[in-house]
Amino acid sequence: MEVPRIDFEIDEDIRHSEKEWRLERAGWIVMGLVTLAALSGILGRGPLSRQSATDASARLTVRYDRFERAHAKSEIRLEIAPAAIAPGLFQVWIDRNYLDGLRIVSMDPEPERFEVSSDRVIYTYNAAGTPLSLDIDCEFEESGNHRGRAGISGGPEVAWEQFAYP
């Protein structure tokens, strides 16, 4: 590094500045890595975040994002194989603890009715309008780990885990 002939009053500290520049460059690398992590989905929705959970009999599949952000729009999809749908009314349930951490914005299709039990919320559908996939638009109200569980009444159930960033 060049050393100037200083004949005026200045509190230059080039050694400190050199340390700062090194730290600056390290910071740029960290920022680049954070950007890559965001693009890949590690910091929210993205290719690496998209996951699904299916029960052993492959009758119920839940599609979700492993990494979410609190207070941001989120989507969970329950896919029910036709074999799992009995004629008449059938019921899908979601764990109540999981729903307590969520704010459901909309469900498509809307259920005929819903009931709340001690550990789950049960949504009743008419099999005539057979819903093969149930889309839930929601928002996580709290950051942290969220364990989900859903199933078809008297049928298979699946569990999954999501993490919501603050």
Partner 1 sequence: MEAVIRGCIVYLFVLIIFRISGNRTLAKSTSFDFVLLLIISETIQEALVDDDHSMTHGFLLIVTLVGLSIALSFLKQYFPSLDKWIDGSPVILMDHGKLLTERLAKVRVDERDILESARKSHGIERLEQIKYAVLERSGEIAVIPAAAP
Q: Does 1 bind partner 1 (CB under 8 A)?
A: yes
Window of 8-16, 82-90, 109-117, 142-150 that interacts with partner 1 by CB under 8 A:
8-16
Shortest spacing between CB 9 and partner 1, in angstroms: 11
Binding mask 32-71 for partner 1 (x = CB under 8 A): ---------------------------------------x
Q: Does 9 bind partner 1 (CB under 8 A)?
A: no
Between 14 and 132, name the residue whose CB sits nearer to partner 1. 14
Distances from the Cα of 72 to the Cα of 103, 143, 160, angstroms: 10, 11, 19
Q: Does 17 bind partner 1 (CB under 8 A)?
A: yes
Shortest spacing between CB 32 and partner 1, in angstroms: 11
Between 2 and 118, name the residue whose CB sits nearer to partner 1. 2
Shortest spacing between CB 117 and partner 1, in angstroms: 30
Between 8 and 118, name the residue whose CB sits nearer to partner 1. 8
The sign one gets for the Cα dihedral 165, 147, 63, 75 is negative
Sheet holding 50-54, edge to edge: 50-54, 60-65, 73-80, 133-140, 102-108
Q: How far apart are CA 131 and CA 149, in angstroms?
A: 19
Q: Are 67 and 162 in contact (CB under 8 A)?
A: yes
Helices (H) and strands (E) in the chain, counts: 2, 11
How is residue 122 written in tokens?
A: 């049960």
Q: Are 68 and 75 in contact (CB under 8 A)?
A: no
Q: Contact positions toward partner 1, by CB under 8 A?
A: 1-2, 4-6, 8, 10-14, 16-18, 20-21, 23-24, 27-28, 30-31, 71
